[in-house]
A and B are shown apart, each in its own frame.
Chain A
Amino acid sequence: MGATASHLGKDLLSEYQVSNVQEPAHKRFTELLSREDKNLPDPRAPTEAILTLPELKSNPFRERIVRVFSTSESRDGLTFEDFLDLLSAFSDSATLEIKSHYAFRIFDFDDDGTLDENDLEKLVNCLTGETDETRLTPDEMKQLISNILEESDIDKDGTVNLSEFQHVISRSPDFVSSFKIVL
């Protein structure tokens, strides 16, 4: 775990952002701002406006994504820098480390640094749907969570921490292609 690896990643990413991502991203971002906010020096787009983006509208984790990338104290709304962070984390050129790090934070619903059973249950319910007929039965949920923990919890402490999560993600062939948003 060294700072040098991430430094290289930052460099490459910023190159990509400057040339290919910034201009279209800025255009889309300013469309989300209200008229008064456009004149501010560092405008912050409100969460409701961001959730109307077509790329995020259908995503079940959209609120978590906005919360994770937001830098304000109340975790509400994104500045343009935050927006760029979001796009670069979801872009093709982000490495698996970056993507898995952010995925972990998105899935960690209670922000305690580990994925415990409640987090996993909320995660599965987000994936399958909110209504009663689209949820798993409690027995199935228990069976599913115990299967997930069996596969990913290496030190058998009942929760999935970041390293275990990254280990599981590195063996997951679909992750890179599904954790991708293209504007």
Chain B
Amino acid sequence: MGACVCVCACREQRLEQDRELSSWRQRRRSLHRSLKRLRADLQERLSSLVLWRGDIHLIEGMFGTGILSYFSFLRFLVLLNLVIFLLMFSFVMLPIIIAPHAGGNVTFNQADGQNVCSVYPTSARRGLVIFHEHITDLLSGGGFLEQTYLFYGYYKVHAISFPGFTYNLPLAYLLVTVAYLCLSLVWIVQRSATGFKRNLIQDEDRFQSFCNKIFAGWDCCITNEDAARLKRSSLLYELKTDLEEERIKQKIADRSRKERCRIYTIRLILNVFVIAVLAACFYSIYRATIFSQKAQMEKMVQICYLPSIVITLANFITPLLFSVIINFEDYSPAFEIRFTLMRCVFMRLTSIGVLLFSLWSQITQCKEGPCLCGYNHQLYSCWETRVGQEMYKLTVFDFIIIAAVTIFVEFPRKLMVNYCGCGLMRWWGQQEFAIPQNVLEIVYGQTICWIGTFYCPLLPAICTIKYFFIFYIKKVSLVNNCRPATRPFRASSSNFFFLVVLLIGLALASLPVMVGVGQINCSQACGPFVNYTVSWEVLPRTVSLLPNKALRDLLFALASEAVAVSLFVITCVGMFYVIALAGAHKRVINQLREQLVMSGSARNLKVASSIPEVALSETPHPDCSCPAGCRPAGLTPPPGCECIHEGVNVSRYCEALWVI
């Protein structure tokens, strides 16, 4: 395996070969070559069209591949949201918009005033509207925004009859919801497949980390002198931490029983404390949501935003608390980081869950016993729009907070650290770009987007624009204010970590959507599902109206319990098979490794004892030859290059350049 690269030598060789071939073959070869060149050129041009390629390359050069992975994750989310919006737009909004132009006849859901459930008082402001009320409406999604394409309640279409076919809008709405959840799942899983494979291998071979850090530690993309200095110091820090962690592990293994009991009691107390803090936060979110919903009539911005404010405060305080608590629990440093991160992830994503739970309890509980319309029609004449408004408010507030923190906290901090040399500033230090916290921020925003798209179809577009601006805000803040984190984040595992957290967010987001679609009675006063009890009902009803009886029976059979149970059983069997296969591979790898070690040492013994005449000569054995045309020449052969000597194959002594 002469792994060397010859440019001119190969080209000369090729030109010589060309001359020997016939002219027809020459032409075919040159055509082949020019096609290849064209393809490479096209690929190069396509890759230059990738969004933000130049910016990300600049960030990679200045800060390395760890922070780069955050920005490419952000780019992925922008694309994902754009695709979801296009789906929603083309199947739900576009038919309504082009119906008058394409000769379609739109049938609206009739709101008969007799039924008390279908009363939808308009929330548009009447009379003279003060300007700041427009701003309030924009921020809270109420007022003039409520009866627009933005929210679920506007889509009161039953069907659109184009010349030739009828477009069933409620069915389209439901199917697009299912489609965007599945699309997100598939795309994320596909993106994380490579990272997952690597992580499996890495986990199995936990003691590879030192070699990876030393041999692959230097990022050759770094061109900036400051960044190089920082990289060196971060490498030093990483190595020292790892070595210290090994010493700590040794110390933990040497712990006495009394010490272990003490540590476990401390950990138990602290975990109970953490659970108590979390419970307190969730309860305050619950109460804030209920208070804000009941006080909706006031239409004051502060009341509207109360749940968002409480969630943001809780998510700001708890990570600080967790990072203080973890110091007392005496774990190994790597586990500390991961555990704190898991706690923060749990906190962030569950706070959304608590908000939705409190909304759900408000919607489905009426004052006097079971609800007349299946939901609380006095408070919520159109509850889906209300939920959409909450998600809209969360998104807008999240964006405002990110922008405000960057402008009003990070920039002044940098100015103060640079120009005010007092001790406090120096201790606080320059801003570090903390990758995990930033990732949690955007995963939180994306989870809200997934939940809210069913109730607020334009939310993906808003999120696309939001992430677009966040990219530039973060990039400017990074370049001007930040230094790289002293605790470096591995590029390889960080991509996998981001996508795992995103998957958790997706799983969490599907739950409220499923409950909303399948469980809660849909509003009778607004939206496309007025004629159905629950939104999901549109699907069985459409299937039962299909002309083809065989297809109908097949679809009903697919939805039955028998198919579901058998699918589950097959999936379980498949999983067990794959796990068993992986275990078998692991065993084979271990066996082969032991064999290598044994054969190596056996050979050492054999060579040393039985063939003492094998002189480790300076010149290679004539049977070892350098592959023709390989450069560089003049390299001294490794000592002991022998191939076959007295019937014993000692070819392993021939290094890469010297082949038999």
Known: A19-B40, A162-B655. A175 touches B638 (CB 8 A): no
- Chain B residues with a Cβ closer than 8 Å to the other chain, count: 77
Q: Does B254 contact A (CB under 8 A)?
A: no
**Bound Cα distance A17, B8 (Å):** 11
- Would A6 and B2 count as touching, CB distance under 8 A? yes
Q: Give the distance to chain B from A108, nearest Cβ to Cβ, in Å.
A: 10
- Would A151 and B215 count as touching, CB distance under 8 A? no
Q: Taking each of B220, B246, B659, which has the highest tally of chain A beta carbons within 10 Å of its own beta carbon?
A: B220
**Bound Cα distance A162, B208 (Å):** 17
Q: Which of B11, B36, B220, B600 contacts A181 (CB 8 A)?
A: B220
For residue A143, which residues in chain B have a CB less than 8 angstroms away from its CB? 243, 246
Q: Which residue of B lies closest to A123 (CB)?
A: B214
Q: Does B124 contact A (CB under 8 A)?
A: no
Q: Does A39 contact B (CB under 8 A)?
A: no
- Would B223 and A58 count as touching, CB distance under 8 A? yes
Q: Which of A2, A55, A97, A129 contacts B223 (CB 8 A)?
A: A55
- Would A54 and B593 count as touching, CB distance under 8 A? no
Q: Does B294 contact A (CB under 8 A)?
A: no
- Would A151 and B659 count as touching, CB distance under 8 A? no
- Would A175 and B44 count as touching, CB distance under 8 A? no
| Partner-binding segment picked from B178-186, B226-234, B379-387, B529-537 | B226-234
For residue B246, which residues in chain A have a CB less than 8 angstroms away from its CB? 143, 147
- Would A151 and B211 count as touching, CB distance under 8 A? yes
- Would B232 and A140 count as touching, CB distance under 8 A? no
Q: Which of A101, A150, A182 contacts B3 (CB 8 A)?
A: A101
- Would A3 and B627 count as touching, CB distance under 8 A? yes
- Would B214 and A148 count as touching, CB distance under 8 A? yes
Q: Give the distance to chain B from A41, nearest Cβ to Cβ, in Å.
A: 13
Q: Taking each of A2, A19, A177, A178, which has the highest tally of chain B beta carbons within 10 Å of its own beta carbon?
A: A178
Q: Does A14 contact B (CB under 8 A)?
A: yes
Q: Does A36 contact B (CB under 8 A)?
A: no
Known: A128-B236, A134-B236, A171-B201. A154 touches B220 (CB 8 A): no
- Would B220 and A10 count as touching, CB distance under 8 A? no
- Would B221 and A172 count as touching, CB distance under 8 A? no
- Would A127 and B631 count as touching, CB distance under 8 A? no
**Bound Cα distance A119, B656 (Å):** 19
For residue B652, which residues in chain A have a CB less than 8 angstroms away from its CB? 163
Say whether chain B's binding surface is mostly helix, strand, loop, or mixed: helix
Q: Does A84 contact B (CB under 8 A)?
A: yes
- Would B208 and A151 count as touching, CB distance under 8 A? yes
Known: A113-B638, A169-B215. A19 touches B198 (CB 8 A): no
- Would A58 and B634 count as touching, CB distance under 8 A? no
**Bound Cα distance A18, B8 (Å):** 11
- Would A134 and B37 count as touching, CB distance under 8 A? no
- Would A129 and B233 count as touching, CB distance under 8 A? yes
- Would B217 and A127 count as touching, CB distance under 8 A? yes
- Would B10 and A11 count as touching, CB distance under 8 A? yes
For residue B656, which residues in chain A have a CB less than 8 angstroms away from its CB? 1, 101, 162-163
Q: Does A37 contact B (CB under 8 A)?
A: no
| Partner-binding segment picked from A27-35, A44-52, A85-93 | A85-93
For residue A180, which residues in chain B have a CB less than 8 angstroms away from its CB? 220-221
Q: Which of A107, A127, A147, A154 contacts B600 (CB 8 A)?
A: A154
For residue B631, which residues in chain A have a CB less than 8 angstroms away from its CB? 71, 85
For residue B507, which residues in chain A have a CB less than 8 angstroms away from its CB? none
Known: A98-B5, A148-B214. A172 touches B208 (CB 8 A): yes
- Would A107 and B5 count as touching, CB distance under 8 A? no
Q: Give the distance to chain B from A91, nearest Cβ to Cβ, in Å.
A: 10
- List A residues at the B interface (Cβ < 8 Å): 1-3, 5-6, 9-11, 13-20, 54-55, 57-61, 71, 73, 81, 84-85, 88-90, 94-95, 97-98, 101, 103, 107, 111-114, 120, 123-124, 127-129, 134, 136, 140, 143-144, 147-148, 150-152, 154-157, 161-163, 165, 168-169, 171-175, 177-182
- List B residues at the A interface (Cβ < 8 Å): 1-8, 10-11, 14, 33, 36-37, 40-41, 44, 65, 198, 201-202, 205, 207-208, 210-212, 214-225, 227-228, 232-233, 235-236, 239-240, 243, 246, 490-493, 593, 596-597, 600-601, 603-604, 627-628, 630-639, 652, 655-656, 659-660
